[in-house]
């Protein structure tokens, strides 16, 4: 796991201070740093040593033929199998290291850009062809590892994190704020790829590769989730499906335990992390390390459940009960860590558990992906419910009457807004998360910052055979997972030089789950049914069969107590007017409703505005 950056054909290549740029990414790779520079390209690399800890495995790495040089962030778990394939074709090939990096580069030299289809892992790869003066970029199928790029007037640069590009003086002077991205942020709580908060900086989308030559960037997908759905999806036998799932998960976890450094798992006590932990422990004779975090507020504390599962599995468990002071110390730093407006407040406990885990291990496994693949979110029930013709007929009266009822009904009212089917999935996601509707964004942004936009929500017609719930889950897999959840884990864990691997997002599991009949995902009213059946083989159901709570903090309470002054510093009328993006009257009305009335469900909107205002104030240049 590492940090990478590079420039191609910059006017001032000899003047670029590579050491200063690498320092901005030093948290991602404290073990080694290196660079490559020729007349046309500059590459930089920071290494977190995981496999083959020797200096020979440092990067930038040159191919055996000498033509290609690579910087790479991630892990390729099947590199040993790829090495065997290379040797079968080139019997003279003798690896110089025991690293996956060398094998990746030799695979590219042998098979060209299509080599990426052979990789099982998480990765952002940059390969410079010194002969043809071409740059190749690759990002893993699900978007576990980040890759940003700047392109304008023939200038091109890339990096693992936005901060490298946005602070480099030669690039910074060309940057303009993307106001469409602000609209997207208010609606979704994150900025979806390929956009970033800057017009000139983009995110290479998950499952894509790109080639830069003569200042021109061409890009295409090599893997798309929707294209992996077969026609039709066949009802599977539950026993066969359970056996297949177990085989896949065991293989995936076994791959992700390949490391030359200590490792463990994040164990929240929920289904997904418990399953990953249980399988990992079953593959070991000695206790593995597990880590969990909780809060004094019992409504948000699941650490007791995690401890019970850890005791049952016999892991070496480390737990931390975070105080409000522990969590609040990180809140002012979120815009620095995440670089652009990002409103997922569960970044706080993710930072805290990563900080704790890094004291003991260098690699952790997480349970991300289970909800999207096996129907774990409430949004999927809403998608199914709102597709009912009778419910659709009642949308208008429901949207008018529900705001007059108890708080839980008020919150649901926005889900019944009449929106076009083309944007229904993003609407359901947004409102189920308590965020701003598209109408809200028009009200809260000054007129000159209102921008219309549309995400691809129908995926080129691949959804016809899917239920509304499945379609909503695919939307999350394409947007929420890579642009929110995986961003959260990557930045939080790598802030402490901790590598986090995600077994449930092995592309073999993803493709299999996409074709699993929905009756095996939600059965007898129980979400994630098949995943829970598998977990039951390792852990008694009584330890995990409970309502889903999520990895959250008492944000609603804190915004009314410890965080109130902090929020008002950025959301008072003067601060809002100075930033010049939000409508001061709308913000003031929201704050009054939240603080003076029984409108606690507005807390996520207040948090979003706070995050945006803080970013605007810190980047006012």
By annotation, the residues acting in catalysis are 2
CB 272 within 8 A of CB 245: no
* Torsions phi, psi for 125 (to 5 deg): -120, 135
CA distance 320 to 357: 10
Task: Locate 281 and state its tokens.
Answer: 């422990």
Tell how far CA 151 is from the center of its chain. Answer: 23
CA distance 595 to 226: 44
Half-sphere exposure of 589 (CA within 13 A, CB side): 8
Burial profile 187-224: b = 16 or more Cβ within 10 angstroms, e = fewer: bbbbbbbebbbbbbbbbbbbbbbbebeeeebeeeeebb
How far is residue 84 from each of residues 79, 89, 95, 114, measured CA to CA in Å? 9, 9, 11, 18
Q: Work out the number of other CB atoms within 10 angstroms of the CB of residue 576.
A: 23
How far is residue 504 from each of residues 144, 180, 377, 508, measured CA to CA in Å? 12, 33, 16, 9
- What's the helix, strand, coil split of the chain in %, to 5? 50, 15, 35
* Torsions phi, psi for 46 (to 5 deg): -120, 130
DSSP symbol at 543: G
CA distance 161 to 56: 26
Task: Locate 495 and state its tokens.
Answer: 């802030």
**Of 436, 414, 428, whose CA–CA distance to 457 is shortest?**
428
Task: Locate 331 and state its tokens.
Answer: 């809140």
What pairs with residue 266 in β-bridges? 291
CA distance 267 to 319: 9
Task: Give the residue carrying structure tokens 């003086």.
Answer: 169
Element (H, E) at 589: helix 584-596
| Dihedral over alpha carbons 332, 333, 334, 337 (to 10 degrees) | 170
DSSP 3-state of 143: coil
Strands in 214-258 per DSSP E:
216-221
- Quickly list DSSP for 347-383: HHHHHHHHHHHHTT-SEEE--TTHHHHHT-SHHHHHH
């Amino acid at each position: 796991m590492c940090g990478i950056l590079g420039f191609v054909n910059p006017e001032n290549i000899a003047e670029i201070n590579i050491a200063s740029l690498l320092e901005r990414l030093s948290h991602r790779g404290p073990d080694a740093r290196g660079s490559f520079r020729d007349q046309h390209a500059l590459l930089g690399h920071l290494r977190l040593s995981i496999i083959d800890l020797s200096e020979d495995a440092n990067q930038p790495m040159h191919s055996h033929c000498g033509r290609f040089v690579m910087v790479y962030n991630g892990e390729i778990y099947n590199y040993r199998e790829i090495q065997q394939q290379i040797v079968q074709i080139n019997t003279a090939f003798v690896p110089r290291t025991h690293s996956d990096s060398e094998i990746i580069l030799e695979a590219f030299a042998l098979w060209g850009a299509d080599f990426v289809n052979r990789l099982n892992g998480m990765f952002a790869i940059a390969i410079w062809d010194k002969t043809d003066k071409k740059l190749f970029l690759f990002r893993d199928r699900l978007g576990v590892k980040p890759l940003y790029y700047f392109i304008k007037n023939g200038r091109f640069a890339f990096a693992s994190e936005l901060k490298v590009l946005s602070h480099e003086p030669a690039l910074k002077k060309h940057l303009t704020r993307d106001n469409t991205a602000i609209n997207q942020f208010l609606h979704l709580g994150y900025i979806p790829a390929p956009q970033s908060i800057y017009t000139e900086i983009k995110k290479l989308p998950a499952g894509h590769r790109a080639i830069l030559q003569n200042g021109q960037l061409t890009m295409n997908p090599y893997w798309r989730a929707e294209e992996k759905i077969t026609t039709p999806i066949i009802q599977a036998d539950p026993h066969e499906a359970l056996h297949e799932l177990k085989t896949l998960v065991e293989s995936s976890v076994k791959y992700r335990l390949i490391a030359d450094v200590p490792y463990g798992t994040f164990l929240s006590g929920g289904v997904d992390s418990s399953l990953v932990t249980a399988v990992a422990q079953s593959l070991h004779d000695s206790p593995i390390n597990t880590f969990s975090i909780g809060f004094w507020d019992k409504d948000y504390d699941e650490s007791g459940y995690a401890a019970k599962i850890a005791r049952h599995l016999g892991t070496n468990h480390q737990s931390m009960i975070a105080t409000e002071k522990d969590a609040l110390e990180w809140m002012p730093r979120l815009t620095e860590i995440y670089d652009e407006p990002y409103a997922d407040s569960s970044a706080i406990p993710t930072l805290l558990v990563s900080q704790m885990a890094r004291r003991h291990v260098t690699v952790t496994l997480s349970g991300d992906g289970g909800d999207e693949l096996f129907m774990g979110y409430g949004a999927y029930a809403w998608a199914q419910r709102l597709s009912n013709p009778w419910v659709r007929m009642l949308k208008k009266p429901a949207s008018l009457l529900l705001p007059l009822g108890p708080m839980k009904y008020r919150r649901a009212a926005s889900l019944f807004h009449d929106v076009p089917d083309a944007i229904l999935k993003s609407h359901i996601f947004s409102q189920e998360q308590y965020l701003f509707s598209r109408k809200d964004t028009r009200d809260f942004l000054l007129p000159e910052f209102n921008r219309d936009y549309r995400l691809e929500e129908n995926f080129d017609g691949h959804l016809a055979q899917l239920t509304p719930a499945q379609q909503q889950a695919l939307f999350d897999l394409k947007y929420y997972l890579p642009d929110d959840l995986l961003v959260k884990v990557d930045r939080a864990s790598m802030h402490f030089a901790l590598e986090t691997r995600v077994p449930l997002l092995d592309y073999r599991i993803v493709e299999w789950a996409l074709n699993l009949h929905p009756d095996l995902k939600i059965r007898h009213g129980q979400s994630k049914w098949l995943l829970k059946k598998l977990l039951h083989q390792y852990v008694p159901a009584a330890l995990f069969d409970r309502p889903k709570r999520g990895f959250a903090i008492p944000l609603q309470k804190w915004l009314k107590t410890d965080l109130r002054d902090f929020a008002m510093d950025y959301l008072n009328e003067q601060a809002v007017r100075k930033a010049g993006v939000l409508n001061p009257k709308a913000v003031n009305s929201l704050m009054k409703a939240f603080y003076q009335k029984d409108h606690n469900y507005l807390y996520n909107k207040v948090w979003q505005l706070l995050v945006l205002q803080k970013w605007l104030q810190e980047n006012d240049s």
